Chain A
């Protein structure tokens, strides 16, 4: 209940709010100016009122709104920044002067919303609605805000309230119906749509809107199992031409018939769909499923002939469609596979299809098919080599070489042969020196063989063969990043980015190019520049926030447009957004760095070599110049109102990310990312959560995270490593203490669960050596070596900081298993293991050299692992080569 003082204050505020005639006229004008976006006039009117009534809260609020709405979105500029601050000051004052007005709170909400603080905006709106519960604009705004925040129940209350106040507006019906869908009550939603459908004639919807609404209603009926109703509505709407023959409608019809058991009718629909789009894979799968044939599992011998007849029929009817021919390759085996894949390959070789290998690569997962494809390719090679003289076959031979080179260097190939791949590409390159694909493939092979710099050079050469192609440009830039040449990469990317962007990277960031930001972040991280690495990762994370924020406008827009299926797709997209591959990569990488600087705060600052320091100074100067240019431009801009729009945004005040990393609280930062990742949990998110919980000493959370991770992938190297870490923690002093602090029952559950990871009677050492014995690939062996190191370090007595020679030797022996000849080489693991020898293992140079020379033996082409002198002399040779090409080129002119 409001106190006496409070109600007195309220009464006074209400009294103060009333303005004399002149000023209240000005106030109305002020509102009109705001609506009409006449910012200058608006401010003038506000100032006139404020001159007499400086404490008038609502005027202060609207003035804040007028100023705020005139500012450019998201990009503060030299002139807009102080204005933004002024608007914030004004709204704060307004709220202080008149906290009893729904207008001041509503304005506050609008400003917060424009700044993308949706939660704050919802709070402000809640206050406004307490004052004026029946106010329609307030209700409308709150629906979108609650929906954006995924508070669907609250949103639904507002939707129903809105509907009660304005029962005749059809648009509100849709709002209520969608609200039910979001709350998981499709039946209620359907009731509304049913009514709306009956009223369709007098809704004033156009034909497209009617079709959208109708399709969505039918889809919902199917979802809840009302098939006969769905069919009736669909048939009726097709007949009266509400629904056109587009794929959405036809797929729905097929599904309904299928559900109703009317297989022939369903088949007829799928055949129509295939006729419309014979390249859609799912139509074939769905059609065959009707006939009891499941493309997702092995097809039995007796069903095979029937399957082939049908699919061959399609292949014949739609000769230009590749889908039926390609699908057959998935289902046949043995000789049938051989003859069909050969025909498929021959056509591709002779037409010149570079993507043939990506097309067939999935098949190579099956050993038998891999072998057949390999053999077939060699046969074609011999065949075309014999005919080499005539033109068409010379092309076919080129693509055959290209195919073989790609396949014998690929992950799926059991006997990789990088040298031969390069040899074939060399021959192809000599005969076809202008085809970029040859060099492109060369780059791929070199990368896999452990020569990133050679790979980048090959891609650079490919790029130069077709400078107008952005694809080659982007791939070349990416390879330069992989090779650690960040500046060179920037120059290459810059050939296609906007010329007026401060840097190529800034344009790519503005265009939300996540893969680039992650690659550059990784490159910085490898170079030891953690501040910039984190900066790039966080930029990706910010992009995903932008994507989520972008959804806001569509909560109203789609309902107006009645694109309800699309709207539901957007909500699904939102639910899955934080498990997107690039987000996960960026968040996990950022967390790794945060963990590093938490464990060793000295890493917050970059340790630069003198050359790097010079480089950094140069870059800082450049950034400063760009900054003062922006400020200068800003200073001259405001005189011309048209130009105001083009005012450059303020330069980044921390372009190198150094200030941020110096000040950030790493565990808070990790927590923020873990919370985001958790919205759609994945193996990666549980692993990151474990790392965080371990550093926060939250035992129960560690256990839970590992329990989930273990369920998802018990054998994963990281899962193994962390399970060992967990077991050690539980049995350590700190762990025992943490356990003792918990309740007894929880402890029992906890211990039982940990036994799932490590049986009580087995020591961590035993578990680890069992794991090592069961797994024979580089990643797993490395995980066992690291775990061994952890276990042994944990047994160190007081005052000991380093493992004994014997213990070290044990770890080193395990590490050496990584490079044994019967284990597939793994470049990433090799690099990590080499670093591991230095830190934390602190091995002797000798031990590390033994590993390195084994690596060199395994990867004879692996320049990444060569002596610096060798790398340098190759660079020199390249420089000479480039010079001579350049001078030759000049003399030709």
Chain B
């Protein structure tokens, strides 16, 4: 699978993949907003036919701007392409740009309490830590773990 920076032409593929994988969905304009604000932070994984099979949609935190921090809005991989290391690779590429272009100190994201694969990906594979719980974060009432990755910075 090919891993590359997402362009505006990939956004529809990302939106489609998101709708297939997760109950948290966004309209196109929100994707476009990401692409037009932080074009370096989103990545896609494509199959040999060139179709998007995985993506990371990421941004910088817009509220607390004193300490720049990255945030993963959404990440997912189509079921038939999971366990190939795609999610981890997508995350690392995004991390690199967060670090070097945006000088992020850390990255945050939310994950469902029950989402074992994702938690294992973030914690065991990528070195995130659980830094909080947000009760009833999701529309169906499930709580979210907040997870944080710290860049090695003084």
Contact = CB atoms under 8 A, between A and B. Distances in A.
Interface of A: 207-208, 211, 244-248, 276-277, 279-282, 320, 322-323, 351-355, 358-359, 361-362, 437, 468-472, 474, 496-499, 508, 510-515, 546-547, 550-551, 554, 557-558, 561, 563, 565-567, 569-570, 572-573, 576, 580, 582
A277 B11 CA distance: 21
Contact of B28 (A512, A561, A566): A512
Contact of B32 (A211, A353, A570): A570
A513 B19 contact: yes
A735 to B, nearest CB: 42
Contacts, number: 132
A510 B28 CA distance: 10
A742 to B, nearest CB: 41
B133 interface: no
Contact of B39 (A514, A546, A565, A572): A565
Given A354-B80, A515-B16, A567-B36, A470 B7 contact: no
B5 A247 contact: yes
Interface string B1-41: 11111011101100110011111011111001001110110
B37 A561 contact: yes
Nearest to B35: A566
A567 B45 CA distance: 22
A246 B40 contact: yes
B79 interface: yes
A474 B36 contact: no
Nearest to A498: B139
B127 to A, nearest CB: 16
Given A245-B100, A471-B20, A355 B84 contact: yes
Interface in B25-69: 25-29, 32, 35-37, 39-40, 45, 47-49
A457 B139 CA distance: 30
Nearest to B7: A569
A728 B6 CA distance: 49
A496 B79 contact: no
**Secondary structure of the B side of the interface?**
mixed
B8 A561 contact: no
A354, A362, A470, A558 interface centre (most CB from chain B within 10 Å): A470
A282 B46 CA distance: 12
A282 B97 CA distance: 19
A359 B80 CA distance: 11
A352 B83 contact: yes
A244 B98 CA distance: 11
Interface of B: 1-5, 7-9, 11-12, 15-16, 19-23, 25-29, 32, 35-37, 39-40, 45, 47-49, 78-85, 89, 93, 96-97, 100-103, 114, 139-140
A532 B80 CA distance: 32
A452 to B, nearest CB: 20
A451 to B, nearest CB: 21
A353 B77 CA distance: 14
B79 A469 contact: yes
B101 A208 contact: yes
16 contacts: A246-B40, A276-B93, A280-B2, A282-B2, A352-B83, A355-B80, A359-B48, A362-B48, A472-B79, A496-B23, A497-B23, A498-B139, A513-B16, A563-B39, A570-B8, A573-B9
Contacts of B4: 277, 280, 282
Nearest to B27: A512
Contacts of B82: 354
Contact of A576 (B9, B40, B101, B139): B9
Contact of A277 (B32, B93, B100): B93
Contacts of B78: 471
Contact of A276 (B7, B37, B96, B102): B96
Contact of B49 (A208, A362, A510): A362
Given A361-B48, A550-B32, A569 B1 contact: no
A554 B23 contact: no
Contact of A511 (B5, B19, B36, B84): B19
B84 A563 contact: no
A554 B85 contact: no
Contacts of B26: 511
Given A208-B101, A576-B9, A580-B12, A471 B32 contact: no
Contacts of B20: 470-471, 474
A566 B31 CA distance: 12
Contacts of A352: 83
Contacts of A245: 100
Given A353-B84, A558-B36, A561-B37, A246 B101 contact: yes
Contacts of B39: 563, 565-566, 569
Contacts of A244: 100-101
Nearest to A321: B89
A746 to B, nearest CB: 40
Task: Output the residue of A355, A468, A546 with the most chain B CB within 10 A.
Answer: A355
A569 B35 CA distance: 10
Contact of B27 (A276, A511, A563, A569): A511
Contacts of B83: 351-353
A279 B2 contact: yes
Contacts of B37: 561, 563
A573 to B, nearest CB: 4
A580 B39 CA distance: 22
A572 B35 CA distance: 14
Of B3, B29, B40, B97, most buried by chain A (CB within 10 Å of CB) is B40
Nearest to A568: B8
